[in-house]
Amino acid sequence: MEVKNDFDLKRILDNFKNIKIGVVGDLMLDDYIYGTVERISPEAPVPVVNVKEEKFVLGGAANVVNNLASLGAKTICFGVIGNDANGERLLGAFADKKIDVSGLIRDKERTTIVKRRIIGSNQQLLRIDWEDITPISTFLEYALLRNIESKIDELDAVILSDYDKGVLTPMVAKEIVRMCRDRGKIVTVDPKPKNAMNYYGATSMTPNRKEAKECLGMERATNMEEVGKELKEKLKLDNLLLTRSEEGMSLFIEDKVVNIPTFAKEVYDVTGAGDTVISVFTLAAASGVSWHEAAKIANTAAGVVVGKMGTSTVTKDEILEFYKRIYERWE
């Protein structure tokens, strides 16, 4: 089913509310501290930030969940978080958005991941991370897989959001791909390059240029078309969506490469843009559009979200308005 005009696109976007997607991966909180800088500390040559505001937002795989929820999709998140105050804060953020957390496991041995960014006068000055990146235990692996297996039949697609923080172990990743393949479910991956082979046989993957080259150990490669073709073939993917920054995106499907130029309103902050791409790409495909159209809709969403500060989401109205504007001009 191809999206022919903005009326059809509106119908597709409206159908998002009928789609249910599972997100598995490294759930985290992004903590933004905003302030002004007017002097240098007398204690050390560092700026003094006079704090004006602190904001917690969903990050990592939780930002994928947030993107899906903002587009009206039904979402179940699966992962392991700490039995700590930040875990409570993360659950509170999910509750505010009415997100199903029945797939989550809390473990007193783990720390809920938090990335704190100190921003003074619109300039990021420092980032502080609290995290535990050790692989989850065998016990937690099986508990997580049981959670997924109990829910998978009600899902239209599964997104694996791998930040290499210990949740998507080789066994977990491979077993989820197998489960999805056996049931004919779409399974898409936002990979960490060193874990790429864990996702052999997935439906699709959405690496950026650097990640794609690292997946193949070809860091010096310059021909991205060859890189994309080789990665798709090596991992036996149905398709591959390669994000190419200012050069747009390339969709590798069957024996074709479809290049989609970039259209950004204004590049202000790329934080979380990859989460937006895989969220919208997967959701659109699960809604029944072709992978080509799904890539175009994802490209539209990315063009909107990079114009926002911090880890951000995109709305259906923003996609509809921007899609109409850019693709009428392109086509």
Whether 275 is a known active-site residue: answer yes
Q: Quick check: helix, strand or coil at residue 81? A: strand
Rg (CA), the chain: 20
Closest CA relative to residue 159, chosen from 186, 127, 199: 186
**Which token pair is 15?**
């159908």
Q: 30, 107, 190, 275: which one is catalytic?
A: 275
Question: Are residues 261 and 297 in contact, defined by beta-carbon separation less than 8 angstroms?
Answer: no
Strand runs (DSSP E) across 143-297, as ranges? 157-161, 186-190, 204-205, 239-243, 249-253, 256-260
H or E element, residue 24: strand 20-25
Residue 139 burial (10 A CB sphere; 0-12, 13-18, 19+): exposed
DSSP assignment letter at 200: T
Task: Return the closest-CA partner of residue 24 out of 107, 95, 80.
Answer: 80
Catalytic positions, written as ranges: 275
